[in-house]
Amino acid sequence: MLPAARREELEARGLLVWPGGGDGADMTVVRRAIRLERKVEIGYRDLAEARSSRTIWPIALTHFDRARVVVGWCELREDFRHFRADRIASVTLLDGRYPRRRPALLREWRATLRPGNTAARN
C-alpha cells in the first residue's frame, strides 16, 4: 500500500526482489542468525552432490545471477565463502556467537572483492 508517486518510483527502479521458493533450506534461520550474530551449522551439497557439514558465521544473504547466496566465514576453510541457498539442505542455529562483530566481518569480506586482490576466493 504505497502512494501512487512512491509506487511509480519503486516500479521504475532496476532492482527487483523476487521471492524464492522450494530451493534448499528455509533461509529464516539464516536471517535470524545474521541478526543475532550467531553461528550456524549447515548441511551442504556441492556441484557433484557431495555432502558436507560446515559451521559458518553468516554475514549476508544476497542474490548472484539467479541464485540466492549466503555469505559467511567458513570455520573449515578459515576464509569467507559463498554458499548457494539451493544447495543448503539443512540449517541449525548454534549457541555460539561470532568472535568479531558483523560490520567488521562485512568490511573484511568486501575487501576480498576488490579488483586485483589475489586473496579473493569463491
DSSP assignment letter at 21: -
Most trustworthy range by pLDDT among 4-8, 39-43, 118-122: 39-43
Q: Domain for residue 101, yes or no? A: yes
Cell of 70: 549466503
pLDDT at 20 > cutoff 70: no
CATH of the domain at 54: 2.30.30
Contact partners, residue 34, CB within 8 Å, separation at least 6: 58, 59, 60, 61, 102
Expressed as residue numbers, the domain containing 104 is: 21-112
pLDDT for position 116: 63
Mean pLDDT of 60-85: 91
Q: Domain for residue 118, yes or no? A: no
Query: How far is the CA of 58 from the CAs of 29, 76, 90, 98, in angstroms?
Result: 10, 14, 14, 9
Mean pLDDT of 28-45: 95
Q: Domain for residue 45, yes or no? A: yes
Q: Domain for residue 14, yes or no? A: no
Q: Domain for residue 64, yes or no? A: yes
pLDDT at 17 > cutoff 60: no
Share of the chain above pLDDT 70, in %: 78
pLDDT for position 83: 94
pLDDT at 15 > cutoff 60: no
Q: Domain for residue 85, yes or no? A: yes
Q: Domain for residue 8, yes or no? A: no
| Domains contained in the chain, number | 1
Q: Domain for residue 15, yes or no? A: no
Least confident of 1-5, 21-25, 26-30: 21-25
